[in-house]
Amino acid sequence: MMTLRHNNLVHFFLILTTGILISIPILSGNCEALEEKNPTVFPNRDHATQSVRIVRALEQYHYLEKKMDNTLSSIILDKYLKQLDPGKKLFLQSDIASINQYKFRLDDELKRGNLMPAFEIFNIYLTRTVDRMDFILESIADWETRFDFNKEESLVIDNELREWPPDETVMKSVWKKDLKNHILTMILDGKENAAITDELKKLYEARKKRFLQTNENDVFQIFMNAVTTSFDPHTQFFPPRASEDFDIHMRLSLEGIGAVLQREYEYTKVVRLIPKGPADNSHQLMPGDRIIGVGQGENGEIKDTIGQRLDEVVKLIRGPKNTIVRLKIIPAKKSSTTKTIQIRRDRVKLEDQSAKKEVIRTNRQGKEMTIGVIEIPTFYIDFEAYNRGDKDYKSTTKDVKNLLLELKEEKIDGLIMDLRDNGGGSLREANQLTGLFLKTGPTVQVRGKYQIQRQFDDDPEITYSGPMIVLINRMSASASEIFAGAIKDYQRGVIVGTRSFGKGTVQHLQPLGEGKLKLTSAKFYRVSGKSTQHRGILPDLEFPRLYKIEDTGESSLDGALPWDTIFRTFYNAYRPLEPLIEKLNGYYQERAKSNPELIYLKRRIKMGEAINAETTLSLKIDDRRTRQKTYEKMELDIENDYLTAIGSPKIEAFDPETSKIKETKQIMMEQTHQVMADMIAYSRLFRYSWQ
């Protein structure tokens, strides 16, 4: 059997107790280059010992109590093949038939520490990838005569629709189409033929050189990632070098752009943005975008990163404060077009992401209203100061309580708690913050393997007792979902926005040899007994979805634990909010029919959905130009309809840099102001008590 290797090393997430995502790249150790004609790697003795330890720990400590059996063996093999060849471009049907001999054997081999099956599969991949690089490099030399861009031909871009090639002829035709599409994209970007040839040659020669630096530790890491994520996507093994990187990333600051990245096939995908970080503040990058090139400074060459390892891409993106990095991206809502953005690096300090307040004054039917807004980017606490008994330790709850007291001085009529893009943080703070708005009672249930523990608010004092809205979006995760879920279950306020992330599992780190194993050990449940896992928190009043559910959030992760329920715990909810929520929804839907910003957003979202629904891409240049012009016209029409609605002159060409459309988060906040004004009016009319 031949073997094959993946040059895209596996990316890991670290989910803190309640869910901040941190990117942990796995770095390759030093090694000699592989033989180009017969690249082969083999496991070492340490790998065998470590794999046995990992399997034992998974079976003993994981929340699901899975056993390494035939069922899990089949899942591991499927995950491993998908990691190596997600686009089904490298393994032949005959390879798969041979590999399937291990479908129900990997469990037994892992228990014995025998990794040869995994390395045999990898060596097939390794050899085939080198063949593909050589084929592409040979084709680049005469691409101008080799490819007919007027030919009726298409490329399948949905990996789920692809089949394993039956023979080498079909496989090479797939390679040829991939290269043709790459060249076609460069032509449409306005590159000259000579520049295309030169750039492609440098690109694939560099990829091949990097690829041949593969070593046995890389292979072990990729395979063990398939093993651990077969339990759930947040369970992973960190080898010694990755464990060092983990410790570095646990520090509360780094210089860069403030984006959490992961590998997705050959791309570097943006998972989420650190609130208030450079990327978030730029309003140019969003979750789901794929980075395909990185350049330094305003004029530096954009280096292609397709197929490059995550740690290498991270090194290119990170850099000193006040320097500029340029990213070439495929926007999440435009799967076949690219654009280049510019971000100024800065020092991202998570401890500086403090809660902030704003006061909004508005008028509804001749009556003045004052609305307080508190934005919480993350659930933070200075654990060192807290543990040493420092009364002045910094925390979310303490800061928010002070802000609420200041807002009381402003005599606010209603409060908006903005948790958009809040990825979580301290479980303690989620519990304490909830207590500022309730008398007493449980706030969350944590179910481990053997028992259920509950967090309680024991303080009867209520800091704020008026109308309240909790604003969430798809990037609101973990601790944010615990807070929003408790407010929803107690009917203490109205949840507005879009469905949240759905991160409802708890992980802990366990030393394992010289490495670490991150295990899922518990799940979060609301006081009503409903899990926050997978489904997240569903809003009472839903805004247009800006993020594609299939590409973001817990439900987009392969093998994510399911949503379920346990017994509700005893708690005293406030008066039912259904009549109020029905009224608020009615008022909002009526406004949405004529609101220019909401109409604009819905049309943009619909266009993005149409692009994402495409499963094939034409390789005929006229078709691609027509497609490009069609979407450009759609963008222009949407923009001009908006300009007409607000009484501004139309434009001749769409330019996002000069667009008069308000920033999306601003549009959503303004709509929330309107909902809160309705809520205040309702409370006044019916003398609703929130005590």
Q: Is residue 51 part of a domain?
A: yes
In the predicted model, is pLDDT for residue 12 greater than 60?
A: no
Among the candidates 287, 317, 348, a domain finishes at 348
Q: How far apart are CA 219 and CA 235, in angstroms?
A: 18
Tell me: do 343 and 358 sit in the same domain: no
Q: What pTM did the predictor assign?
A: 0.85
- In the set 503, 516, 518, 548, the catalytic residue is 503
Q: How far apart are CA 203 and CA 209, in angstroms?
A: 10
With contact defined as beta carbons under 8 Å apart, do 418 and 471 qualify? yes
**In which band, very low, low, confident or very high, does the pLDDT at 691 lie, cut at 50, 70 and 90?**
low
In the predicted model, is pLDDT for residue 87 greater than 60?
A: yes
Q: Express each pLDDT in 267-308 by its tens digit.
A: 788 877 887 788 888 888 888 888 988 999 998 888 888 767
* pLDDT mean over 111-130: 96
CATH number at residue 286: 2.30.42.10
- In the set 336, 478, 480, 528, the catalytic residue is 478
Tell me which residue has tokens 């909010």: 577
Tell me: do 284 and 164 sit in the same domain: no
Share of the chain above pLDDT 70, in %: 90
Amino acid of residue 582: E
Beta strands in 560-657 (DSSP E): 616-618
Give the contacts of 536 (CB within 8 A, at least 6 positions apart). Answer: 476, 481, 499, 500, 501, 502, 503, 553, 554, 555
Domain count, the chain: 3
pLDDT score, position 658: 67
Identify the residue with better confidence: 211 or 590.
590
Tell me: do 259 and 226 sit in the same domain: no
Q: How many CA atoms lie within 13 A of 434 on its CB side?
A: 31
Tell me: do 260 and 132 sit in the same domain: no
* pLDDT mean over 37-42: 82
Q: Is residue 683 part of a domain?
A: no
Tell me: do 327 and 383 sit in the same domain: no
Q: Is residue 608 part of a domain?
A: no
Tell me: do 441 and 540 sit in the same domain: yes
Among the candidates 300, 318, 348, a domain finishes at 348
- In the set 418, 489, 540, 678, the catalytic residue is 489
* pLDDT mean over 613-636: 92
pLDDT score, position 305: 84
* pLDDT mean over 497-521: 91
* pLDDT mean over 142-148: 95
In the predicted model, is pLDDT for residue 16 greater than 80?
A: no
Phi, psi of 121 (to 5 degrees): -60, -40
| C-alpha torsion angle, residues 594, 599, 602, 605 (rounded to 10) | 180
In the predicted model, is pLDDT for residue 77 greater than 60?
A: yes
- Burial code (b: 16+ CB inside 10 Å, e: under 16) for 482-506 equals bbbbbbbbbbbbbbbbbbbbbbbbb
CATH number at residue 496: 3.90.226.10
Q: How many CA atoms lie within 13 A of 430 on its CB side?
A: 31
Average pLDDT, the chain: 87
pLDDT score, position 230: 96
Top mean pLDDT of 334-338, 347-351, 557-561 is at 557-561
Is 413 an annotated catalytic residue? no
With contact defined as beta carbons under 8 Å apart, do 467 and 677 qualify? no
* pLDDT mean over 74-86: 95
Are β-strands 414-418 and 367-375 bridged in parallel, bridged antiparallel, or unpaired?
parallel
**Two tokens at 204?**
């694939």
Tell me: do 369 and 339 sit in the same domain: no
pLDDT score, position 255: 61
**In which band, very low, low, confident or very high, does the pLDDT at 656 lie, cut at 50, 70 and 90?**
low
Phi, psi of 520 (to 5 degrees): -80, 120
* pLDDT mean over 632-641: 92
Tell me: do 288 and 431 sit in the same domain: no
With contact defined as beta carbons under 8 Å apart, do 295 and 328 qualify? yes
Tell me: do 340 and 466 sit in the same domain: no
* pLDDT mean over 7-16: 29
Amino acid of residue 46: D
Q: How far apart are CA 690 and CA 467, in angstroms?
A: 7
Q: Express each pLDDT in 107-117 by its tens digit.
A: 999 999 999 99
Q: Express each pLDDT in 553-582 by its tens digit.
A: 899 888 999 999 999 999 999 999 999 999
Tell me: do 327 and 359 sit in the same domain: no
Tell me: do 212 and 316 sit in the same domain: no
Tell me: do 466 and 378 sit in the same domain: yes
Is 622 an annotated catalytic residue? no
Q: Is residue 230 part of a domain?
A: yes
Q: Is residue 4 part of a domain?
A: no
Among the candidates 333, 348, 363, a domain finishes at 348
Say how far residue 4 (Cα) sits from the centre of its chain: 29
Host H or E run for residue 675: helix 664-685
Q: Is residue 624 part of a domain?
A: no
Is 478 an annotated catalytic residue? yes
Q: How far apart are CA 223 and CA 115, in angstroms?
A: 9
With contact defined as beta carbons under 8 Å apart, do 164 and 158 qualify? no
Q: Is residue 595 part of a domain?
A: no
pLDDT score, position 295: 92
Q: Is residue 681 part of a domain?
A: no
With contact defined as beta carbons under 8 Å apart, do 360 and 418 qualify? no
With contact defined as beta carbons under 8 Å apart, do 225 and 76 qualify? no
**Two tokens at 613?**
């629904």
* pLDDT mean over 656-664: 72
**In which band, very low, low, confident or very high, does the pLDDT at 60 lie, cut at 50, 70 and 90?**
very high
pLDDT score, position 32: 57
* pLDDT mean over 151-179: 94
pLDDT score, position 267: 79
The parent domain of residue 72 ranges over 11-239
